[in-house]
Amino acid sequence: MNITKAVITAAARNQRTLPLQTLVDRDGDQKSVLHIIIEEAVGTGIDDICVVIAPGDEPAYRQAAGDLAPNLCFVPQTEPLGYGHAVYCARDFVAGEPFLHMVGDHMYLSETQQGCAQQLLEVAQAHACAVSAVQPTRENLLPLFGAVGGHRVKGARDLYIIERVAEKPTPTEAEQSLMIPGLRTGHYLCFFGMHVLTPLVIDVLEQHVAANNGRGRIQLSPVLDELARRERYMALEAQGRRYPVDARYGLLTAQLALALSGRDRDEVLAGLVELLAQRDSGLVTR
């Protein structure tokens, strides 16, 4: 499997400004969330990248991409018909090829020398199938993510065969159909916001779009659930963490994660200790 293209979805009308926000990266440089995500893709050797945006957002996104803007093409999602539909908008760009897909409202932080996207591509290429990155996630966070059920690949620590996909399942639904032996109690494998997808995904999305006929939102999880029934589909427990910047305090959490793993770690820790000391001092004086 040769993966030479990446698709970043960033068209959600209530989140369209999140990829434009500025963070201080691990190297101490100020970059937009979009720039950091594009760097993740470029780090795999992919330099052909499509960003699905809301109409009219291209100038702001080009500016946020900075020196990486020449790597990008932009496709507007003209109607807000959901996440799955946003991926489908890139159908002409992917042109029947497998592709890396990342969401524009997540930041990814690897715990190894390899980026999370590079880990994912290597597994997809080795097994010649679709692969989604996942992260063990506490039950109380299930309302925020899609989740998968299946079984661990024999002899592997971090690879799974996906048998079922559910979008933001209830704890009861997850307990009934998404439990995977070997995970900690109360934890499920939830999406990391990063996938390698095969051309079948676009074919299934086309069917969903035709059946929907513009009447409602088209999600990606039901399409991936169908993918699991029709071809080999795997999950990789990525060696890293995802930070959804659309969550409450999401940008703050992402910034702290970057800072505490970067060159300015000691400076940031000292500042946090000072803030906590001031807070405790204030509580005592009251």
Average pLDDT in the chain? 93
Helix (H, G, I), strand (E, B) or coil at 32: strand
pLDDT band, very low/low/confident/very high, at 158 (cuts 50, 70, 90): very high
- Scanning the structure block, which residue is given the tokens 């499997």? 1
Two tokens, residue 58 = 């291209």
Evaluate if residue 282 carries a pLDDT over 80. no
pLDDT band, very low/low/confident/very high, at 14 (cuts 50, 70, 90): confident
Q: Which residues contact 250 (CB under 8 A, 6 or more apart)?
A: 105, 243, 244
Give the residues across from 108 on adjacent strands.
Answer: 242
**CATH superfamily of the 5-128+192-217+238-285 domain:** Spore Coat Polysaccharide Biosynthesis Protein SpsA; Chain A (3.90.550.10)
- Condensed to tens digits (0 to 9), the pLDDT of residues 178-200 reads 999 888 889 999 999 999 999 99
Amino acid sitting at position 265: R
Work out the burial of residue 89: count CB atoms within 10 Å of its CB; fewer than 13 is exposed, 13-18 middle, 19 or more buried. Answer: buried
Indicate the pTM of the whole model.
0.92
pLDDT of residue 285: 52
Cα distance between residue 224 and residue 201, in whole Å: 7
Other CB atoms within 10 A of residue 13 CB: 8
Portion of the chain with pLDDT greater than 70, in percent: 98
- Scanning the structure block, which residue is given the tokens 């597994």? 123
* Domain locations along the chain: 5-128+192-217+238-285
**Nearest alpha carbon to residue 15 among 31, 42, 34:** 34
Cα distance between residue 159 and residue 148, in whole Å: 12
